[in-house]
C-alpha cells in the first residue's frame, strides 16, 4: 500500500515514517503543495495524508483541485485548525476524514486503514481485524485461518463492522444494509443477528468483540492480547 504524506514539519514526518512503515505502508513524504501535486500526478497512491497549513499554500486548495479532477484517492486531513467551520470546510471540500493536532500515531494509522477498508480501497477486498479475515469477494470469513460459516445477513453485518473497525456503526445504517436482503425487517432483527454473530465469533476464538452502544449502534474492537 502506497501512502503520500504532505507535511511541512520535518520532525513530524521523521517520527511518522517508522510506525507507518511498520503498519505496512510504503510512504512518500513531501513538504509543499506543489510537490504533492507533482507526486500525485506521477504515481498512484492508495491514500494521502494532508497537512492544511503548508508553506506554499492552503492544503484545502490542493484537496479541492484533486476533487475537481474527480480523483477519488482517500484523503485524511491533518490540521491544527480546529474551529468547527474549518472542520466542516475540510469535509465539504472532499476530505474523507480529519485529525486534529496533536494526534496519537495509533489513531492516525487506524483512521488511515479505515479509509483503505472502504469498498474499492486497498484494504477493502480482504478485511482484517485481529485474527479475523473477511474476503469480500468470496464472502468467506476465517478466524485464525479456519473457515467460519455465517449466514448472509450476519456476514453483511460483520463486513460493515470490520470496515468501520473501532468506530460506532449506527443501528440505522446496519438496517439499511440489510433492507435489500430482507424485505420484512423485524424491529429486533439487528440485535438478534448481532447476538448470533457474537456467539459464533466467540466459539471460533476470534480476537474481536462486538460492543453495543445502547441507543446508537455497535462497534467492533480488536481484543487487546
**Residues within the interface to another protein (CB under 8 A):** 9, 11-12, 15-16, 18-19, 80, 82-85, 88, 101-106, 166-168, 170, 211, 213-217, 219, 221
Listed residue (10, 204, 27) closest to 108, CA to CA: 27
Burial 24-39 (b: 16+ CB within 10 A, else e): ebebbbbbebebbbeb
Q: Given the complex with another protein, which of 45 and 218 has the nearer CB atom?
A: 218
CB of 18 to another protein, least distance (A): 6
Rounded Cα–Cα distance for residues 120 and 136 (Å): 11
Q: Given the complex with another protein, which of 136 and 212 has the nearer CB atom?
A: 212
CB of 116 to another protein, least distance (A): 19
Q: Given the complex with another protein, which of 14 and 56 has the nearer CB atom?
A: 14
> What DSSP line would sit under 17-62, residue for residue?
HHHHHHTT-EEEEE-SHHHHHHHHHHS--SEEEEESEETTEEHHHH
CB of 81 to another protein, least distance (A): 9
Q: Given the complex with another protein, which of 182 and 222 has the nearer CB atom?
A: 222
Listed as own residue / partner, the contacts of 209-213 with beta carbons closer than 8 Å and 24 or more positions apart are 210/161, 213/168
CB of 85 to another protein, least distance (A): 8
Is the link from the previous residue into 34 a cis peptide, with omega within 30 of 0? no
Q: Given the complex with another protein, which of 80 and 146 has the nearer CB atom?
A: 80
CB of 168 to another protein, least distance (A): 4
Amino acid at each position: 500500500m502506497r501512502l503520500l504524506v504532505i507535511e511541512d514539519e520535518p520532525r513530524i514526518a521523521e517520527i511518522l515514517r517508522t510506525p507507518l512503515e511498520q503498519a505496512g505502508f510504503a510512504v512518500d513524504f513531501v513538504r509543499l503543495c506543489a510537490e504533492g501535486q507533482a507526486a500525485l500526478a506521477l504515481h498512484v497512491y492508495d491514500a494521502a495524508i494532508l497537512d492544511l497549513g503548508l508553506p506554499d499554500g492552503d492544503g484545502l486548495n490542493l484537496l479541492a483541485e484533486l476533487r475537481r479532477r474527480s480523483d477519488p484517492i482517500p484523503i485524511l486531513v491533518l490540521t491544527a485548525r480546529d474551529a468547527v467551520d474549518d472542520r466542516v470546510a475540510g469535509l465539504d471540500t472532499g476530505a474523507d476524514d480529519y485529525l486534529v493536532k496533536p494526534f496519537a500515531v495509533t489513531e492516525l494509522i487506524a483512521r488511515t486503514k479505515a479509509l483503505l477498508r472502504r469498498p474499492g480501497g486497498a484494504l477493502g477486498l480482504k478485511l482484517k481485524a485481529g485474527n479475523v479475515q473477511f474476503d469480500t469477494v468470496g464472502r468467506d470469513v476465517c478466524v485464525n485461518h479456519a473457515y467460519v460459516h455465517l449466514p448472509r445477513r450476519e456476514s453483511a453485518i460483520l463486513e460493515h463492522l470490520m470496515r468501520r473497525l473501532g468506530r460506532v456503526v449506527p443501528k440505522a445504517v446496519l438496517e439499511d444494509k440489510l433492507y435489500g436482503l430482507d424485505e420484512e425487517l423485524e424491529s429486533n432483527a439487528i440485535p438478534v443477528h448481532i447476538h448470533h454473530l457474537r456467539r459464533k465469533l466467540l466459539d471460533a476464538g476470534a480476537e474481536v468483540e462486538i460492543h453495543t452502544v445502547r441507543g446508537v449502534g455497535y462497534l467492533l474492537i480488536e481484543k487487546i492480547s
